[in-house]
């Protein structure tokens, strides 16, 4: 089972991806988590990454594409995966789709988490207190939401038009358990 999750930061897609990956016994492939793991390495790349991520800007497409190409071909993805936080730009999307095509990795379902940005701001402020992420504060969230609108929203639109049979928009303001049930129901029903 191969899934892609779209949605702005704070839409709860990471929480849902974690739960669903466990349920389906597939890999939760969060590029944000992979990058955060790299920050502890302390080398010059990690210092650069820290700066970019703390400001709410996006890390370079080349770095992300390389990470994803390595992961998708690894044993960890043998049962499938949930992509959470990638592709986030048109260049990443182009790379990903040609990679998928040339390796016959057809996508099964794409979920698009839709949520009001005011609610996102409230959630992120709450999360900043719980998880102490350096990019979870009100100054940075504006940049992250702007990046989503400028770079990622067009990618999700492209997927909705080109994979309309497998593309499902989810009301992300609902309770965690309700959303999870909705995702599982859609997957069980198969394609439209």
Binding positions for ligand AMP, rule: CB under 6 A: 9, 31-32, 35, 52-53, 56-59, 64, 85-86, 88, 92, 135, 144
Q: Which residue has its beta carbon closest to ligand AMP?
A: 32
145/11 Cα distance (integer angstroms) = 11
Q: Pick the closer one to ligand AMP by CB: 155 or 179.
A: 155
Q: Pick the closer one to ligand AMP by CB: 4 or 53.
A: 53
Q: Pick the closer one to ligand AMP by CB: 58 or 120.
A: 58
Q: How far is the CB of 143 from ligand AMP (least distance, A)?
A: 8
DSSP letters for 125-184: HHHHHHH--TT-SHHHHHHHHHHIIIIIHHHHHHHHHHSGGGEEEEETTS-HHHHHHHHH
Q: Pick the closer one to ligand AMP by CB: 47 or 181.
A: 47
Q: Do 8 and 121 meet the contact criterion of CB atoms below 8 Å apart? A: no
Q: How far is the CB of 124 from ligand AMP (least distance, A)?
A: 10
Q: How far is the CB of 173 from ligand AMP (least distance, A)?
A: 18
Q: Tokens representing 51?
A: 């700066």
52/1 Cα distance (integer angstroms) = 32
Supply angle C-alpha 69, 74, 79, rounded to 5. 110
Q: How far is the CB of 16 from ligand AMP (least distance, A)?
A: 13
């Amino acid at each position: 089972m191969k899934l892609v999750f779209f949605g702005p930061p704070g839409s709860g897609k990471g929480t849902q991806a974690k739960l669903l990956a466990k349920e389906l016994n597939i890999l939760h492939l969060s590029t944000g988590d992979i990058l955060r793991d790299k920050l502890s390495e302390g080398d010059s790349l990690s210092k650069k990454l820290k700066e970019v991520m703390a400001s709410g800007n996006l890390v370079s497409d080349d770095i992300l594409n390389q990470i994803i190409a390595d992961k998708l071909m690894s044993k960890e993805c043998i049962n499938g995966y949930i992509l959470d936080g990638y592709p986030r730009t048109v260049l990443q999307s182009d790379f990903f789709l040609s990679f998928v095509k040339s390796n016959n990795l057809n996508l099964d379902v794409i979920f698009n988490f839709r949520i009001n940005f005011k609610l996102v701001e409230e959630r992120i402020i709450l999360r900043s207190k719980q998880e102490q992420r350096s990019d979870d504060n009100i100054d940075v969230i504006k940049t992250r939401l702007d990046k989503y609108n400028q770079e990622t929203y067009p990618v999700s639109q492209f997927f909705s038009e080109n994979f309309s049979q497998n593309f499902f928009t989810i009301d992300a303001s609902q309770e965690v358990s309700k959303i999870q049930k909705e995702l599982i129901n859609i997957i069980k029903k198969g394609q439209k």
